[in-house]
Amino acid sequence: MKKFLSLLALCLGTTRQGSAQTAQQFDQERIALTKNGLYVLGGWAVSNLVYSGSQLARTSGETKAFHQMNMGWGAINLLLAGVGSLTRQNRTRTPYETLQQQEKFEKIFLVNTALDVAYVAVGAYLKEKGKNQNNVRNQGFGKSVMVQGAFLFAFDGIMYLVHRQHFRKNEKLWKTLGAADEGLGLKMKF
């Protein structure tokens, strides 16, 4: 009888209530993981702004340039974390849309991790160029970009791994819901 009802639900284009709830729970967990990560990014940004802001009047030369650049990065990171944290994601997604969002976030964090390597490389270049030209501003900026890039590399890499682990932990859900041309369907063995 249970298989008949499941088949009937499939023919009518609906999914089992349990699968839909599980996909919705999965999506809510993904949102919570992302928001927690954004709180970490925001904390890093605030600490950069507070510490480097307090050091600007006390320092000069390369060190002052380091703190100036840290404040720039802190402002941008705080803006990104704030906008991301305040964005409401209350709408209910279909299981297919949930899976698309999951894949999107994994890709974003993976691409950002690669970009962070470029930040470190650009910082090293600026630092070396500043050293060769005896330009303390470039040296300080380069050091800051290297520090910020290293933090973001760790942050984005960990966020990718956390989201990937979240997907793998719930892989059984996505095996139950099979891909279809225009969404997800329900797979059942008879």
pLDDT per residue over 26-47, tens digit each? Answer: 889 999 999 999 999 999 999 9
Residue 131 has pLDDT above 50, yes or no: yes
- Average confidence score pLDDT of the chain: 84
Listed residue (65, 82, 83, 79) closest to 144, CA to CA: 65
85 has pLDDT over 60: yes
Q: Is the pLDDT of residue 139 over 50?
A: yes
What share of the chain has pLDDT > 70, as a percent?
A: 79
Phi, psi (rounded to 5 degrees) for 94: -70, 160
Q: What is the pLDDT of residue 95?
A: 85
Q: What mean pLDDT comes out for the span 153-177?
A: 87
* Pair 123, 144: CB distance under 8 Å: yes
Amino acid occupying residue 68: Q
Query: Which pLDDT band, with edges at 50, 70 and 90, does 178 fall under?
Result: low
Q: How confident is the model at residue 169 (pLDDT cuts 50, 70, 90)?
A: confident
Question: What pTM was computed for the model?
Answer: 0.78
- pLDDT category at 94 given cuts 50, 70, 90 is confident
In angstroms, what CA-CA distances link 26 with 6, 94, 95, 99, 136?
A: 22, 11, 9, 9, 50
CA distance 19 to 24: 9
